[in-house]
Amino acid sequence: MDIRGKTVLVAGATSGLGLGVARHFSARGANVVIVGRRGVLAAQIADDLGENALGIGADVGDTEAVAAVVAATLDRFGTIDINVNTAGILAPVILVTDTGRPSDATVLARLVSTNLIGTFNVMSHAAAVMLGNAPDEDGERGVIINTSSVAAREATTGLVGYAATKAAIEGMTLPAAREFAGRGIRVNTIVPGGFDTPMVDDYAGKDTKAEGINQFLNPRRLGTPDEFAAFAAHIVENRYFNAANCRIDAGYRMPL
C-alpha cells in the first residue's frame, strides 16, 4: 500500500514509538490521527504536524472512546487505511510479594485493559471501517500493525503481567489475518527489543539501560522510534508481508 494520501490511525502516538510513527508517516504524506490519553498533547502534536493531522484524547481500553475516535477520524478524513497500535503501559507484576503473600491482580488488570483490550478495541473498530474501503488492484483495503515486545518471549523477573499481555497480542496476529483472508486486510505485529522511549526510561532508568547495551549484538545501542516507524512503513508498503510477528532488536535477548 502506498502511504501517501492514506489515513493512518496511530494509537499511543503522544510519545515513544507511536509518536515516531506519527511523524514518519506524516512526513511520507499520510493523513495522521494521533490518539493518546493526553488529549491536549495529542492536539499539540497534530498542530505541529500540520493540517493533515488530527489529535484526539482517548483511553483505548474504553470501547466507547475508541468508537468516538473512529467517528472523528471519518468525519475529518473519510476513512481509515492503516492502523498502527503502540498504546501500552509497562508496570511490574510478581506472583508472590516480598512478605510471602499472593499478589493481587490490580496492576495486571490495568496492563490487560490498555495493552491487550486496548489493542483489540482499536484494531476491531479500524478493521470494520477498512472492510468498506474500495479494494486496490491487489485487492487490498487496509493494513493493521500491532506492537508486542521481546518480553513476550523472554521476559525477566517482574514482567509476568507485561509479558502475558504482549504474548497475547502476538497470539492475535494469525487468527486476525485469517479472519480477513481474501477480504483485503493484512495484520502483522512488530516485536521490538530495547528502544529509547520514555516508557523504558520510567521503568528501567538510564543506568540500567546503559548496563544492558552489551546485550545488543549490532549496533550496540538502543533503537530509535524512527527506526521502528521505518519498519512499520515497510510492512505497509510490502503487500506480501502478512500474518507475521517480526522482531526488530539488533539481536538483543533479555537476560535472566
* Catalytic sites, residue numbers: 162
User: Distance between CA 32 and CA 5 in Å, rounded?
Assistant: 10
CA atoms within 13 A on the CB side of 77: 23
Prior bond of 219 cis (ω within 30°):
yes
Torsion, Cα 55 58 63 66, to 10 degrees, reads 0
What is the distance in angstroms between the CA of the first residue and the CA of the last residue of the chain?
Answer: 40
Interacting residues of 39 by C-beta distance below 8 A, sequence separation 6+: 55, 56, 57, 58
Sort residue 217 into left (φ over 0), alpha (ψ -120 to 50) or beta.
Answer: alpha
Q: In one letter, which amino acid is 99?
A: T
Kindly give the pairing relationship between strand 31-36 and strand 185-192. Answer: unpaired
